[in-house]
């Protein structure tokens, strides 16, 4: 099937290892819609459809990602972050009433967190709106707070992506290392 040039630009944004599959999926959708060539519009529609990033009626969901500490990931599968996201609790409470998609959950790659910029840059191509820095990067206990936190934050913001500090701990209690559900 023939592709318009601007539709090919959309395809180029897909990582190379999944591009052949994405190409087939776009062409399938184009055929289903009775098109004889792939336009930018159908390429964008397919991208949103197959990534599950649209609400009913084609409205964009807010796209959220979480970066977390590589060291802590050795002992934590991420359950606190993921449950807080799923239940819209603690630092995800701000999205109550909004449709959201979790489009990334990754570690910083180890000190000094340089992987964050590369992966945030990839997520930017998928329209990520906000990246949360996990609470384990911000707290003093049971692990030390990340000493590269500000650099990591700035590297994400330099891409024009909003950063929220924290995932599943009560705002203002990072220094005490208190989880939201712990009693005083
Ligand atoms: S850079 Fe920070 S978040 Fe990343 S592994 Fe080191 S301490 Fe953890």
Residue 151 contacts by C-beta under 8 Å, 6 or more apart in sequence?
112, 113
DSSP SS3 for 64? strand
Q: Using alpha carbons, select from 74, 82, 68, 67 the residue that is nearest to residue 123.
A: 67
Instruction: Tell me which residue has its CA closest to atom 7 in ligand 1.
Output: 146
Q: Tell me the C-alpha distance between 19 and 103, whole Å.
A: 18
Q: Which atom of ligand 1 is nearest to the CA of 112?
A: 1
181 pLDDT higher than 60 = no
Which CATH number describes the domain made up of 62-176?
3.40.50
Q: What is the mean pLDDT of residues 126-152?
A: 90
Candidates 137, 139, 154, 155: which one to mutate for ligand 1, based on the most atoms within 8 Å of Cβ?
137
74 pLDDT higher than 80 = yes
Instruction: Tell me which residue has its CA closest to atom 8 in ligand 1.
Output: 69
Q: What is the mean pLDDT of residues 105-125?
A: 95
Phi, psi of 132, rounded to the nearest 5 degrees: -90, 135
- Confidence at 64, pLDDT banded by 50, 70, 90: very high
Instruction: Tell me which residue has its CA closest to atom 2 in ligand 1.
Output: 146
Q: Where are the domains of the chain?
A: 2-51, 62-176
Q: Using alpha carbons, select from 120, 100, 94 the residue that is nearest to residue 109.
A: 120
Question: In what helix (H) or strand (E) does residue 150 lie, and over which residues does it extend?
Answer: helix 149-157
Q: What is the mean pLDDT of residues 20-27?
A: 90
49 pLDDT higher than 80 = no
Q: 149: burial class by Cβ within 10 Å (0-12, 13-18, 19+)?
A: middle
Which of these CATH numbers, 3.20.80.10, 3.40.960.10, 3.40.50.970, 1.10.8.550, describes 2-51? Answer: 1.10.8.550
Q: CA geometry: angle at 117 spanning 143 and 73, to 5°?
A: 30
What is the Å distance from ligand 1's center to 71 Cα?
A: 6
Please indicate whether residue 41 or residue 174 has the higher confidence score (pLDDT).
41
Candidates 81, 109, 111: which one to mutate for ligand 1, based on the most atoms within 8 Å of Cβ?
111
Q: Tell me the C-alpha distance between 6 and 11, whole Å.
A: 9
Q: What is the mean pLDDT of residues 30-58?
A: 80
Prediction pTM value: 0.73
Task: Quote the pLDDT of residue 22.
Answer: 87
């Amino acid at each position: 099937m023939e592709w318009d040039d601007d539709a090919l630009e959309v395809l180029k944004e897909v990582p190379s290892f999944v591009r052949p599959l994405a190409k087939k999926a776009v062409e399938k959708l184009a055929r289903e819609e009775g098109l004889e060539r792939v336009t930018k519009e159908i390429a964008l529609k397919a991208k949103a459809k197959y990534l599950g990033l649209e609400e009913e009626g084609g409205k964009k969901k807010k796209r959220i990602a979480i970066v977390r500490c590589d060291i802590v990931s050795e002992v934590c599968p991420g359950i606190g972050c993921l449950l807080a996201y799923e239940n819209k609790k603690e630092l995800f409470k701000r999205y109550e009433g909004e449709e959201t998609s979790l489009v990334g959950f990754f570690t910083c790659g180890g000190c000094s967190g340089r992987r964050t910029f590369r992966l945030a840059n990839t997520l930017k191509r998928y329209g990520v709106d906000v990246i949360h820095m996990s609470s384990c990067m911000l707290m003093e206990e049971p692990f030390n707070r990340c000493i590269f936190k500000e650099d990591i934050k700035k590297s994400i913001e330099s891409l024009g992506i909003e950063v929220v500090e924290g995932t599943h701990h009560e705002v203002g209690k990072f220094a005490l290392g208190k989880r939201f559900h712990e009693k005083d």
